[in-house]
């Protein structure tokens, strides 16, 4: 079994969306016991967005069964945006990970300014194919006023942002994806995302 970690590390240096609350970790000593505390936006690093992030929706992460975040996944490589048939192999209930390799800029200044956005008709195609979940190796599918976030949320498709290492995943065959959030009463959550590749060495 080969496991590919698709999560960015969370440290006091992890970048955050401008204006959002940063990830802050504090390690305290109580005699010989070490206890860390953290304060963070749920939208730092590799994380999940639920519809409540932008729409009126009562559900928080704790209300969503784990199955929503686990399943058969495919990578769609959009680094050449002019290629045809990008989504031809996508099947209903697939988890789709859009590969741009922009994650390599995660620690660079401007990461939250210069990211590539999805094309509107890509999102329409994915919605018509009834995918299960959409993951990105960028901070967001779109920029303010976030029409693609809302289009996805209106069809109850959840979004995972700031994935990394998508270049280590196969392009031509599906694999198991896990994007596991905290069991938390919030509109989003930090996640540990990973893929399990069977019989691939
Ligand atoms: Zn988010």
Report the chain's mean pLDDT, rounded to a whole number.
96
pLDDT in tens, 20-40: 999 999 999 999 999 999 999
Q: For residue 55, report the distance from its CA to the centre of ligand 1, in Å.
A: 13
| Residue-range domain boundaries for the chain | 2-8+42-197
Q: For residue 182, report the distance from its CA to the centre of ligand 1, in Å.
A: 14
Q: Could you please report the per-residue DSSP string of the chain?
A: -EEEE-----STT----TTSPPPEEEEEEETTEEEEEEE--TTSSSEEE-GGGTS-----GGGS-GGGGEEEEEEEE-SSTT-S-TTTT--TT-EEEEE--GGGGTTSTTTTTSPPPPPHHHHHHHHHTT-SEEEESSS-SS-TT-HHHHHHHHTT-EEEES---GGGS-SSS-EEEEEEE-S-SSSEEEEEEEEEETT--
**One CATH from 3.40.50.2000, 3.30.43.10, 3.50.30.50, 3.30.70.2740 for 2-8+42-197:** 3.50.30.50
Ligand 1 is an ion; residues with CB less than 5 A from it: 43, 49
Alpha-carbon distance of 50 to 22, in angstroms, equals 20
Q: For residue 45, report the distance from its CA to the centre of ligand 1, in Å.
A: 9
pLDDT in tens, 43-98: 999 999 999 999 999 999 999 999 999 999 999 999 986 788 999 999 999 999 99
Q: For residue 162, report the distance from its CA to the centre of ligand 1, in Å.
A: 9
User: Would you place residue 175 in the very low, low, confident or very high pLDDT band (cuts 50, 70, 90)?
Assistant: very high
């Amino acid at each position: 079994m080969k496991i590919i970690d698709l999560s960015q590390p969370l440290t006091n240096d992890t970048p955050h969306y401008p204006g959002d609350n940063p990830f802050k970790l504090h390690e305290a000593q109580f005699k010989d016991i070490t206890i860390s505390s953290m304060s963070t936006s749920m939208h730092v690093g590799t994380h999940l967005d639920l519809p409540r992030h932008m729409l009126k929706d009562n559900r928080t992460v704790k209300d969503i069964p784990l199955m929503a975040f686990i399943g058969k996944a495919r990578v769609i490589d959009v680094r050449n945006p002019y290629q045809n048939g990008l989504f031809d192999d996508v099947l209903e209930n697939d988890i789709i990970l859009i590969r741009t390799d922009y994650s390599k800029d995660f620690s660079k200044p401007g990461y939250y300014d210069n990211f590539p956005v999805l094309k509107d008709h890509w999102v329409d195609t994915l919605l018509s194919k009834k995918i299960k979940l959409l993951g990105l190796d960028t901070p967001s599918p779109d920029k303010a006023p976030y029409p693609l976030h809302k289009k996805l949320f209106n069809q109850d498709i959840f979004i995972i942002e700031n994935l990394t290492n998508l270049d280590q995943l196969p392009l031509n065959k599906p694999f198991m994806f896990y994007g596991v959030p905290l069991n938390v009463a919030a509109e989003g959550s930090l996640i540990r995302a990973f893929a399990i590749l069977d019989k691939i060495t």
